[in-house]
Amino acid sequence: MPLRVGIDLVKADTIAEALAEHGERYLRRVYTDAEIAQCGGPDGAPDPLRLAARFAAKEAAMKVLRPGDAAVPWAAIEVVRDATGIPQLTLHGPAAALAAAAGLTEFALSLTHEDAYAAAVVVGT
C-alpha cells in the first residue's frame, strides 16, 4: 500500500491579490461552489485566509498525486467540512483518476492558519 505526504504554505496576501485582480473569475477557476460558500467572512465576502488554507490543501494534494504532465484543474481537488466541521478532501475527475492509478484510496487532511499564512498537510494511502 503506498503512503504519500504533501505539505504547502500559502500567504493570504497572495490570495487577496488574486481576488482583487481577477475577482469572480479567479474564484470559479480555483474553488468549487461549496468551498466558496464555506470560506465567506463575517461580511459574506470571500475570506482570503480561509481560501489560502484551501489552496494550500490543493497544492499539498497535488504533491501526493504527483500528476507529472497531466492537467488537473484546481477545482478537481475539493476541501469541504463534514457535518462535524472536520475538513475533508474530495477528488473529482482527473484528480480521482490519478489517485486510483496510484492505488491511493484514503486521504487525511489537516489545515491551519495564523496571521498572514495558511498551511495544509495531506496524507494519502
Q: What is the pLDDT of residues 81-112, one digit of tens each?
A: 999 999 999 999 999 999 999 999 999 999 99
In the predicted model, is pLDDT for residue 1 greater than 80? no
With CA atoms as reference, report the closest residue to 94 among 73, 114, 125: 73
* 38 Cβ contact partners less than 8 Å away, ≥ 6 residues apart: 50, 80, 81
Residue 2: the pLDDT is 86
Residue 46: give its domain's CATH number: 3.90.470.20
Q: Which tens digits make up the pLDDT trace of 29-39?
A: 999 999 999 99
Of 1, 117, 12, 9, the residue nearest 63 (C-alpha): 9
pLDDT tens digit sequence for 4-59:
999 999 999 999 999 999 999 999 999 999 999 999 988 889 999 999 999 999 99
Domain total for the chain? 1
In sequence order, the 6+-apart residues with CB closer than 8 A to the CB of 102 are 2, 4, 65, 66, 124
Find the domain containing 44 and state its range: 4-124
